[in-house]
Structure 1
Amino acid sequence: MEIVTVSLLALGVLVLMLSFGVPLPFCFGGALMAMYYLGDAAMEGTMVWGYSQLANPVLLCIPLFVFAGTIMSESGIAASLLNFVNVFVGRIRGGLGVVASVSCAIIGAISGSGLTGVAATGPLLIPEMAEKGYPRGYATALVANSSVLGLLIPPSVTMIIYGWVTDTSILACFLATLGPGLFITFLFSVVNLVMARKFPLKLDPPSTKQEILKEGISCTSRAIPALIMPLIILGGIYGGIMTPTEAAAVAVIYAIPVGFLVYKGLSWETFLKAAKSSATAVGAIMVMIIFSLMLSQIFVMEDVPQALVEGIFTITDNKVLLLILINFLLFFVGMIVNDITAIILIAPLLLPLMEAIGVSPIQFAAIMGVNTAMGGVTPPYASILYLGIRIGKVEFSEVIKPAMILIVCGYMPVVFLTSLWPDLSLFFPRLFGY
């Protein structure tokens, strides 16, 4: 049987199992079995190769960042950051929505995970926004969509995976998604300020300059230990002092005493709960990585990327049309699988095509990052949106309309700008010599 036919059947098995709600690792296992029995894939060698890839030290930063983010959520570090941002914009009409977007961007710079952003900010912000007059469904949609910024504002777990599977500088990948992430934060803030005009909001009473200054000094001094975390992580990585793995370890080492002694939100019970939660999440991620990595490697060994490139060039060789088609493909994949799976599966397949049309691996990192981030809040997969719904205690019907408004007005413009305007993603990498 031709390899293209076998590959399509394997992908069909993958999509079918996903549609029936089979756990992700087993979905990829089913696709692997299809490749093995219908094709001539060397499964034993691929398994040995996949296991050896998991021993890569680069992957060590994933559990460390996840653990640091979980500690941050449990310890009160996230709450202090929210209060810090709220002091400056909380009295503006719609200001609390801006607090949600900016806070999630800051928390994303610490944890590198969208799910952590929802877990850390949702229980604090959603009830507060509802009390101030925001519809609860809108508040949930805004927090969930803004939490996806954790996948774009560095350090990002998805960019670590992308850099690893494509052999691209991880620091360059971090910088590539920074511009799109900041632009999305700005667009969310603008959309929120426009939509807030029709909500019956309860604004904080006006305060004198002396009261605002006093409150600002108090919240800033309390937030300083929390603000040091992103400074340590980003300053260490971009300053060339630490690798991403070392920065993640330092973040954990710093977060533990701050959580216990400064904010006092951590106890032995909550610390062990955070450790257990992180271990469970990381275990699921690693099992999923090895299966999806093996499937991706078989595709590469069977020259599927080259066949894909040739097949697409028979349709059109226009760069703009190709980029639009690729964005639709990435968006569709992001809607049915999570961000890490999408990157491991798709990046090695499409990278040869992107290079053939003149798109650098660094710009492609940003294109994949923005698309998979948007997929994380777009049904049917939408894991981050569903977590937000559970935390916000609302119905799906209340959330979907405002969520789609934010996606259309916030994400989609940046998706196409990232593809068609290279400077948006390449400005910061070039600034650092990439």
Structure 2
Amino acid sequence: MSQELAIMLVCFVALLCLRVPIAFVLGLATVVTALALDYDKVSLSIASDLANGIDSFALLAIPFFILAGELMGRGGLARRLIDLATVIVGRLPGGLALVNTLTCMLFGAISGSAVAAVSSIGGTLIPEMNRKGYERDFNIAVTASAATTGMLIPPSNIMIVYALVAGNVSVAALFLGGILPGVVIGLGIMIAAVLICFVRGYGKQAGADAPDLPPFGRALLGAFPSLLLIFIVLGGILGGIFTATEASAIAVLWAFLLGVVFYREINPNELIGITLRAARTTAVVLFLVASSYAMSRLLTQEQVPQQVSAALLNLSENPFVILLIINMTLLAVGVFMDMTPAVLIFTPIFLPIATSLGIDPVHFGIIMIANLCIGLLTPPVGTCLFVGAGVGGSDIVRVSKAMLPFYLVMLAMLLLITYWAPLSMQLPGLLK
């Protein structure tokens, strides 16, 4: 490791320990390292890199999908999805845990936000599960775990970011590639939840959690306009009717029509507040993108990806071993870093290694996103874990203990996604 890169690493770790926001950590570490380098050698301008990092038409999809998620969270979507999930699985033993998982999967997929799924679904179902005798920390753990599947089931903002960094990777292929892995992880969480419910006696009597349910047809009719968004976005992109960016704008229009006109859950006076919240979230995400891009440029200039690739290939040329090392590294990174900067920084480092081993960039993108989803559930940075604990009224230590079975399930599903490529590549193969 060169002296300059050692400076970057020390600066990065020190700022993280001081709890400086990650976007500023990335920017400051980049500036300090650039100052330590020979400017004739490192011909870059930090300011221009920050601007160039967000100068992309594809990134316009992010603020639109964020706004669509805000509109959906406030527009009555959660309650209707809960009704549909309750009709489907609510009569089974431990039904509320299954309802929670299925609803979070649907809401996370439609809104594209794991945090929105935790707050919207958890705010309704965690208190209900508490009243039905389910243990509070278990309820929070189920909600937070299931919400992360929305990062894999399209549409997904993080897939757009990965496609931007990876270069010649189709957003449509990524969207299709994430469907089966997201569903498999959700099913794994359901199985773990049912086993825990069986052992602890939660919802032991079938149908006890859902004695009065609407007819399936009525529940499906209520949720169908919301579910239709997935088909509009995917169908439009795959059919070549519009791009992913244009699809995000259509998602906003559809969410607006649902919340204001169809469901009538949003008062027009609330639109300003909803827009402001979306703008604040967008500003945070785009600042992360900009600062991560500047650091990524510096790392590329210093040939860090090539150095890492050479070091890993010196350890082993076995793809099984290399992927295991990459997974372990990303798991460690996810503990301390949010998904967006992790994807922006480590995609240029690890993707060339993966492609040199014959791994498709779409498959590797799904591996990376599935990996970093676990980071959303691990302290000290796990946003879903913290939001879930706040919504459910518990503390991080107790919820983290309740998360242990779900960590094991998600790790097992990650290995399945990593080493069984058809799970991720079967649907994208249809595009060819």
Q: Do both proteins adopt the same fold according to a TM-score greater than 0.5, normalized to the shorter chain? A: yes
What is the one-letter code of the residue matched to 1:320? F
The residue number in structure 1 matching 2:175 is 174
1:244 shift after superposition: 1.2
The residue number in structure 1 matching 2:29 is 31
Distance of 1:43 and 1:147 partners within structure 2:
43
* Aligned residue pair count: 427
Secondary structure of 1:401's match?
Answer: helix
Contact 2:71 2:255 in 1 (8 A): yes
What is the one-letter code of the residue matched to 1:394? S
The residue number in structure 1 matching 2:355 is 355
What is the one-letter code of the residue matched to 1:188? I
Percent identity, aligned pairs only, is 30
The residue number in structure 2 matching 1:196 is 197
1:273 shift after superposition: 2.0
> Which moved further from structure 2: 106-115 or 288-297?
106-115
The residue number in structure 1 matching 2:18 is 20
1:207 shift after superposition: 9.3
The residue number in structure 2 matching 1:382 is 382
The residue number in structure 2 matching 1:413 is 412
Q: TM-score, normalised by structure 2?
A: 0.94
1:55 shift after superposition: 2.2
Distance of 1:257 and 1:269 partners within structure 2:
15
The residue number in structure 2 matching 1:52 is 52
Contact 1:10 1:31 in 2 (8 A): yes
Contact 2:65 2:112 in 1 (8 A): yes
After superposition, the Cα gap between the structure-2 partners of 1:179 and 1:40, relative to the gap in structure 1 and judged at 3 Å, is: farther
1:52 shift after superposition: 2.8
Deviations 1:372-397 (A, max 9, x none): 11111112211111011111111223
- Equivalence map 1:120-199=2 (5 Å): 120-167=120-167, 168-197=169-198, 198-199=200-201
Secondary structure of 1:240's match?
Answer: coil
> Which moved further from structure 2: 218-227 or 398-407?
218-227
> Which moved further from structure 2: 145-154 or 94-103?
94-103
The residue number in structure 2 matching 1:40 is 38
1:44 shift after superposition: 4.8
1:202 shift after superposition: 7.3
Residue 371 of structure 1 pairs with residue 371 of structure 2: yes
Instruction: Structure 1 unaligned segments of length 5 or more: list them.
Output: none
What is the one-letter code of the residue matched to 2:290? I
After superposition, the Cα gap between the structure-2 partners of 1:143 and 1:428, relative to the gap in structure 1 and judged at 3 Å, is: same
Contact 2:181 2:417 in 1 (8 A): yes
What is the one-letter code of the residue matched to 1:66? I
- Equivalence map 1:316-327=2 (5 Å): 316-327=316-327
Deviations 1:388-429 (A, max 9, x none): 1111111223311221210112x1012112222211211111
Contact 1:367 1:419 in 2 (8 A): yes
Q: TM-score, normalised by structure 1?
A: 0.93
After superposition, the Cα gap between the structure-2 partners of 1:45 and 1:231, relative to the gap in structure 1 and judged at 3 Å, is: same
What is the one-letter code of the residue matched to 2:197? A
Contact 2:174 2:362 in 1 (8 A): yes
The residue number in structure 1 matching 2:240 is 240
1:12 shift after superposition: 2.5
Contact 2:49 2:290 in 1 (8 A): no
1:295 shift after superposition: 0.4
The residue number in structure 2 matching 1:96 is 96
